[in-house]
Amino acid sequence: MLSYQNLFIVLLLLFCLYATYTDLRERKIKNFCSYGTIYAGILCQVISVLSGSSLLLGSITTFLGGFAIVLVLYWFGIFSAGDAKLVWGASLLMPVGLFTEANVFAQYTPAALIINIFVPYCLILVSYLLIKTEIRQKWEAFVKIFHQKDFRKQIFEMVFRLIFLLGLRAVVTLSLDWLGIELGFWHQLLLVLFLYFTLSHYVKKYSLEKVRNYVVCVVLIALMIITTPWTMSAWSEAYGPLLKVYLVYIAIFFFGRPFIYNLDSMVLNREIDISDLKEGMVPAEQILKIEGEDGEAAYSKEGFALPSVLNSNIILGTLPGGVSKEKAAELKQLTEDGKFEGFENRIRIQHSLRFAPMICLGVILTLLCRGPFFMFFQ
Specify the pLDDT at position 338. 80
Range from 128-137, 169-178, 297-306 that averages highest in pLDDT: 169-178
Under DSSP, is residue 131 helix (H, G, I), strand (E, B) or coil? helix
Q: How far apart are CA 323 and CA 316, in angstroms?
A: 8
The CB-side HSE value for 16 (13 A sphere, CA atoms) comes to: 27
DSSP code, position 78: S
Q: Are 362 and 92 in contact (CB under 8 A)?
A: no
- Rounded average pLDDT over 168-178: 91
Domain segments of the chain as ranges: 3-117+355-377, 126-267, 272-350
Q: Are 76 and 308 in contact (CB under 8 A)?
A: yes
Q: Are 79 and 319 in contact (CB under 8 A)?
A: no
The amino acid occupying position 179 is L
- Rounded average pLDDT over 326-333: 82
Specify the pLDDT at position 52. 79
Residue 339's pLDDT band (boundaries 50, 70, 90)? confident
Specify the pLDDT at position 331. 81
* CA 234-235-237 angle, 5° bins: 65
DSSP code, position 340: T
Strand partners, 191: none
Specify the pLDDT at position 378. 58
Specify the pLDDT at position 36. 92
Give how far the C-alpha of residue 149 lies from the chain's centroid of Cα atoms, to the nearest Å.
23
Residue 314's pLDDT band (boundaries 50, 70, 90)? confident
Residue 319's pLDDT band (boundaries 50, 70, 90)? low
Q: Are 323 and 272 in contact (CB under 8 A)?
A: no
Q: How far apart are CA 221 and CA 301, in angstroms?
A: 38
> pLDDT tens digits, residue range 181-217?
888 877 888 889 889 989 998 898 888 999 999 999 9
| pLDDT of residue 311 exceeding 70 | no
Strand partners, 289: 299
> pLDDT tens digits, residue range 54-113?
788 888 888 998 999 898 888 766 787 888 999 999 999 988 767 666 565 567 888 889
Q: How far apart are CA 147 and CA 125, in angstroms?
A: 24
Map 264-277 to HEC letters.
HHHHCCEEEEHHHC
Average pLDDT over the chain reads 83
* CA 351-357-362 angle, 5° bins: 120
The amino acid occupying position 254 is F
Residue 14's pLDDT band (boundaries 50, 70, 90)? very high
Range with lowest mean pLDDT among 132-136, 175-179, 183-187, 361-365 = 183-187
Q: How far apart are CA 79 and CA 68, in angstroms?
A: 13
| pLDDT of residue 163 exceeding 90 | yes
CA distances, 15 to each of 36, 122, 342 (Å): 8, 24, 46
- Enter the pTM of the model: 0.65
| pLDDT of residue 306 exceeding 60 | no
- Sheet of 297-302: strand order equals 297-302, 286-291, 314-316
Strand partners, 283: 349
Q: How many residues are present in the chain? A: 378
